[in-house]
Structure 1
Amino acid sequence: MHIPDGFVSVPVAGATGLASALALFVACERSQEAFGIRRAPLLGLTTAFIFAAQMINFPVAGGTSGHLLGGTLAAIILGSPWAGMLCMATVFIIQAVLFADGGITALGANILNAAVINVWVGWILTQTLQRLFGGSKGRLPLAAGIAAGVSVVVASIACAIELLLSGTASIAVLPAMAGVHILIGVGEGLITGGVLTYLAKARPDLLPGEQEEMRGWLVPVVSIVLVAGLLSLVASAWPDGLERVAEDLGFIDLAEQVRVTVPTPLADYGIEGLGVIGTSIAGLVGAAICFAVAFGIAKIVSPKSA
């Protein structure tokens, strides 16, 4: 759901950019209590994992693919939707600037959809379902999985509204985006529930409310390396949900008419001349940069006494 340049109008880009900037400012203020000695590396690891996981597109019906968005998963692991917002925003900024994935002019819209709407819908719905399910920690993966799937659909509708307000597409974009992202949301829910089930059994120290100290970095780091360096090589080449809708409704060419790019050797998650090895290197470099930037953000916003 990375909106490219050319899909949103200047007024929509400006309004969403302002809204995203204000939301992230508040997130920085409200995230202070979420970070301590333990939470700084956890924010970095979570951000690196979300970046790596988003490289893996899985096929859905009709020659369309999707990938994990991750807002719900990030918020739950970090124990705070505010921290989840910082995680997701970091991923989308690095993707746009270093990997040409998502438009620079559409960055505000992408952050609003993925780092604000997606995170908060997933977080609020997870808490609501948890109460309905009796508050059992064992039901958290189920609640989060359902919430994650719904949050993807809601974020896709927000994206469709932005395209509609920009004059990019007709009202048909609303059911088209919602329909394809219902299928993608199923994958989102399964991945989110699966990851949380694994963490609850094998690494409860990586979940909030459990141990105060991480037991080690080996498993998280190896997981990130495997996802970014190896699993990314088998990602589906089919167009994602937004691309498929743009092709079907006839506005895909707008992405070529307006392109604002930052010169980068990592564009499109590869390195020229290196083939699949370049994809692995790009994924590993991106994950490392995500960790470093997020870790730095955690140190900056954490209380001085942390």
Structure 2
Amino acid sequence: MHIPDGFISPPVAVITTVISAGVLTLSFSKMGKDVKAPVIALTTAFIFAAQMINFPVAGGTSGHLLGATLAVVILGDPWVATISISTVLLIQALLFADGGITALGANIFNMGIVGVWVSWLLVTTIQRLLGGAKKRLPLAAGITATISMVSAAVSCSLLLIISGTATLNLVLPAMTGTHILIGVGEGLITGSVLRYLLVTNPDLLPNDESKLDKWLVPVIGTLLVAGVLSLLASSWPDGLEKVAENLGFIHLAENVRVEVPTPFADYQISGINEQIGTSISGVLGTLICFGLAFFMTKFMSRKSA
């Protein structure tokens, strides 16, 4: 669902950038001094790594984790979750050419704002309806993740419609139908990850920063996802790309060229074997996401103290 350059009009790009910048500024101001930077950083790194793994769905289309519900549940705060998802999108756009530079505000709006806040509202509501028991959390989050994915896809469709890129009667059902299927995968992955965390770490992630042994499995697991499991990703086009091909506006991505150096474009490294390049770029991207999220939240939490 990463919108590339050229899919949305300049006014839509500017408006979504202003909105996203405003929400991010507010998110940082809402972040308390007691935030756990390692938990935020590791969650951000895992979402980056997990988004590298495209899984196949029907019709030659693939999808990948959005991660909004996962971030909301683990971090327990939609403001911090917005920062986490936005950090991933920023690194993807600037270093990996995954999502357009001019469309970064739109991507943050769809995934980091709509996806996150729908997740927050739904997961708390569904969890309450299920009785509030912690063991029900993976089910509540799985249902929420599916709906969150579709909500972000609808938001993306509306931006394409407003931009004049596609008509409502074509793009909305196409994007919704495709992302319902992707959303099912999102829900299963989200529920499974949370089920595992509840079994191994009842507090979802270790809260004692001094006990490094508790961090060993999550850290190694995240690096394995980025460096090894990413090699198993489906090569089929993702939901938005497939819809763009079917509706005939895929060429618009070629009309806008934003000349920004992207050292790991398409998750590759120039001059290195494709699979090795994917592994190295995935691990480096994961570490960069971790470092940026860690130092950013540390700095901003001290500023708000």
Q: Is the 8 A contact 1:205 1:213 kept in 2?
A: no
- Which residue of the partner structure matches residue 217 of structure 2? 219
Write out per-residue CA displacement over residues 127-172 of structure 1, whole angstroms, 9 at most, x where no aligned residue.
0001100100000000011001100000000000000000001111
Counterpart CA distance in 1 for 2:202 and 2:298 is: 23
| Contact map agreement 1:97 1:261 (CA 8 A) in 2 | no
For 2:91 and 2:151, locate their aligned partners in 1 and report how far apart those are by CA, in whole Å: 24
| Helix, strand or coil at the partner of 1:59 | strand
Residue 293 of structure 1 corresponds to 292
1:103 alignment partner, one of 100, 103, 128: 100
1:24/1:64 CA distance change after superposition, 3 Å: same
CA distance in structure 2 between the partners assigned to 1:94 and 1:66 by the alignment: 19
Cα 1:272–1:305 change in 2 (3 A) is closer
Q: Contact between 2:33 and 2:304, CA under 8 Å: does it hold in 1?
A: no
TM-score (norm 1): 0.95
Cα distance 1:141–1:261, how it changes in 2: closer, same or farther (>3 A)?
farther
User: 1:206: which partner in 2?
Assistant: 204
**Cα separation, partners in 2 of 1:108 and 1:202, compared to 1, 3 Å:** same
| Native 8 Å contact 2:92 2:98 kept in 1 | yes
Amino acid across the alignment from 1:300: F
> Is the CA contact (8 Å cut-off) linking 1:34 and 1:80 kept in structure 2?
no
Q: After the TM superposition, which residues 141-156 of structure 1 pair with which residues of structure 2 at under 5 Å, given as runs? A: 141-156=138-153
Structure 1 regions of 5+ residues with no counterpart? Answer: none
Which residue is 1:140 aligned to? Answer: 137
- Distance in 1, matches of 2:201 and 2:260, equals 39
Any idea what SS the aligned residue of 2:142 has? helix
Contact 2:41 2:290 in 1 (8 A): yes
Distance 2:232 2:300 in 1: 37
Structure 2 spans left out of the alignment, 5+ residues: none
Q: 1:158-197 maps to which residues of 2 (within 5 A)?
A: 158-171=155-168, 172-197=170-195
Cα-to-partner distance string for 1:83-134 (whole Å, 9 max, x where unaligned): 1000000000000000000000000000000100001101110000011001
In structure 1, what residue type is equivalent to 2:83?
A: L
Aligned partners of 1:212 and 1:287: how far apart in 2?
21
Q: How does 1:1-306 map to 2 (within 5 A)?
A: 1-33=1-33, 35=35, 39-171=36-168, 172-207=170-205, 212-214=207-209, 215=211, 216-274=214-272, 275-303=274-302
- 1:212 offset after TM fit, Å? 4.1
The amino acid that maps onto 1:76 is: V
State the Cα distance separating 1:261 from its structure 2 match. 3.7
Q: CA deviation at 1:305?
A: 9.2
- Work out whether residues 100 and 261 of structure 1, in 8 Å CA contact, stay in contact via their aligned partners in 2: no
Specify whether residues 273 and 295 from structure 1 end up closer, same or farther in structure 2 by C-alpha distance, changes over 3 A only: same
State the SS of the aligned residue for 1:204.
coil
Q: 1:150–1:185: 8 Å Cα contact kept in structure 2? A: yes
> SS of the counterpart of 2:231?
helix
* Secondary structure in 2 matching 1:135: coil
Cα distance change, pair 27–34 in 1 and its aligned pair in 2 (3 A): farther
8 A contact 2:32–2:304 mirrored in 1: no
Shift of 1:206: 3.4
Output the aligned Cα RMSD. Answer: 1.3
SS in structure 1 of the partner of residue 287 of structure 2: helix
Distance in 1 between the 2:303 and 2:4 partners?
A: 39
* CA distance, structure 1, for counterparts of residue 33 and residue 158 of structure 2: 34
Amino acid at match of 1:23: V
- Three-state SS of the structure 2 residue aligned to 1:206 is coil
Superposition deviation, residue 27 in structure 1:
0.5
Task: Give SS of 1:272's match.
Answer: coil
Q: Percent identity?
A: 62
Q: Distance in 2 between matches of 1:271 and 1:288?
A: 16
Q: Secondary structure of 1:32's partner? A: coil
Q: Flag as ranges the 4+ runs of structure 1 deviating above 3 A.
A: 303-306
Matched residues, number: 300
Aligned residues of 2:179 and 2:239 also touching (Cα < 8 A): yes
1:204 Cα offset (Å) = 2.2
**Contact 1:88–1:115 (8 Å) recurs in 2:** yes
